[in-house]
């Protein structure tokens, strides 16, 4: 495809909420952009602090797909750098491809800057690890079926049967369904679960620890009904476990190409005279 004489549209991941979690590259593009379209319902406006004087800034929360792509196309014809600032990472529940296709059709260059996902920010907020040796080494990023249907074989119940870490997006209003599908997949009602509302947002973050059986009641008590990450995992609460299987990477008896194993000295047998 021949590209016309236009600027470049950058889809920049704004991260989970805290503007300081934007990447350095993302901040630099915001500073150099002639126009920025940000998802105001999910992205804090404080991320505009790096925008240059004279930059045209627009909130997209009231715009549909056609309005968004028309805006990006128009601004790319008048500016070298246009930024579409999206929550989290653009490639994860970010409608990236449906916004890129109209730009491709107009011959407008596109770039993507990854962002910190709310899944990682929620785990960090709760000081939880999504993986642990010999507990789980797999993380599934998914959602429960609501108005948007799930592809065959990707129901939460089917995925939960793996009993690995589940980071469940866009599902806080369907917590009852989340509970039912986890229980149907064999998770016990007292299995720990973590919900984080507005992970990393200064002054707005809420961290709820509970179990599959009581998490809905706890979230209702805190009036959490939007912008929340649900993490169900056999690793939740490991910080308080008395014993852990430790990573071999840091085991002094384990060799790798940067470090040789140290031999544990053998105890001398005592002999009686």
Tokens read off for 23? 């990447």
C-alpha distances in Å from residue 25, one per residue of 36, 50, 83: 15, 12, 12
Residue-wise pLDDT tens digits, 48-77? 889 999 999 999 999 999 999 999 999 999
Q: What is the largest CA-CA distance in the chain?
A: 95
pLDDT of res. 272: 45
Q: What is the pLDDT of residue 4?
A: 61
Residue pair 33/52 in contact (Cβ under 8 Å)? The answer is yes
Report how far residue 161's alpha carbon sits from residue 181's, in angstroms, rounded to the nearest whole number: 10
DSSP letters spanning 52-66: PTT-EEEE-TT--HH
The predicted model scores a pTM of 0.87
For tokens 């992970």, the residue is 199
d(CA 177, CA 165): 18
DSSP code of residue 148: S
Q: What is the mean pLDDT of the chain?
A: 91
What sections of 59-149 are H helices per DSSP? 65-76, 96-105, 118-125
Integer Cα distance of 15 and 27 in angstroms: 11
User: Are 209 and 194 a contacting pair, CB within 8 Å?
Assistant: yes
How many whole angstroms separate alpha carbon 122 and alpha carbon 195?
8
Give the DSSP H or E segment for 208: strand 206-211
Q: Which two tokens stand for residue 166?
A: 């589940």
* Per-residue pLDDT at 269: 53
Q: Which residues of the chain have pLDDT under 70?
A: 1-5, 248-259, 261, 263-273
Q: Given this model, what pLDDT does residue 257 score?
A: 64
Percent of the chain with pLDDT over 90: 80
CB 248 within 8 A of CB 261: no
Report the chain's terminal Cα–Cα distance, integer Å. 90
Asked if 268 and 202 touch (Cβ cutoff 8 Å), the reply is no
At 148, list the tokens: 């948007």
Give tens-digit pLDDT for 200-248: 999 999 999 999 999 999 999 999 999 999 999 999 999 999 988 777 6
Check residue 47 and give its pLDDT.
83
What is the predicted pLDDT for the residue at 181?
97
Question: Could you give the domains of the chain?
Answer: 8-116 (3.40.1010.10), 119-239 (3.30.950.10)
């Amino acid at each position: 495809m021949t590209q016309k004489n236009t600027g470049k549209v950058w889809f920049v991941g704004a991260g989970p909420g805290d503007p300081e979690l934007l990447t350095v590259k993302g901040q630099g593009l915001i500073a150099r952009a002639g126009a920025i379209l940000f998802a105001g319902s999910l992205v804090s406006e404080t991320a505009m602090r790096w925008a240059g004087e004279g930059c045209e800034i627009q909130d997209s929360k009231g715009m549909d797909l056609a309005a968004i792509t028309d805006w990006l196309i128009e601004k790319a014809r008048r500016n070298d750098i246009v930024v579409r600032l999206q929550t989290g990472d653009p490639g994860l529940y970010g409608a990236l491809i449906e916004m890129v296709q109209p730009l491709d059709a107009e011959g407008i260059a596109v770039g993507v800057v990854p962002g910190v996902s709310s899944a990682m920010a929620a785990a960090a907020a709760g000081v939880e690890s999504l993986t642990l040796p010999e507990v789980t080494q797999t993380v599934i990023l998914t959602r429960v079926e609501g108005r948007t249907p799930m592809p065959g074989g990707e129901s939460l119940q089917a995925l939960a049967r793996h009993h690995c870490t589940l980071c469940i997006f866009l599902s806080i209003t369907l917590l009852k369904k989340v509970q039912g599908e986890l229980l149907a997949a064999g998770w016990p009602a007292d299995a720990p679960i973590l919900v984080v509302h507005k992970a990393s947002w200064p002054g707005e973050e809420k961290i709820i620890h509970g179990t599959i059986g009581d998490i809905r009641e706890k979230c209702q008590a805190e009036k959490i009904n939007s912008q929340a990450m649900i993490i169900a995992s056999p690793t939740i609460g490991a910080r308080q476990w008395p014993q852990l299987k430790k990573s071999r990477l840091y085991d002094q008896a384990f060799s790798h190409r940067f470090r040789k194993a140290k031999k544990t000295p053998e105890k001398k047998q005592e002999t009686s005279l």
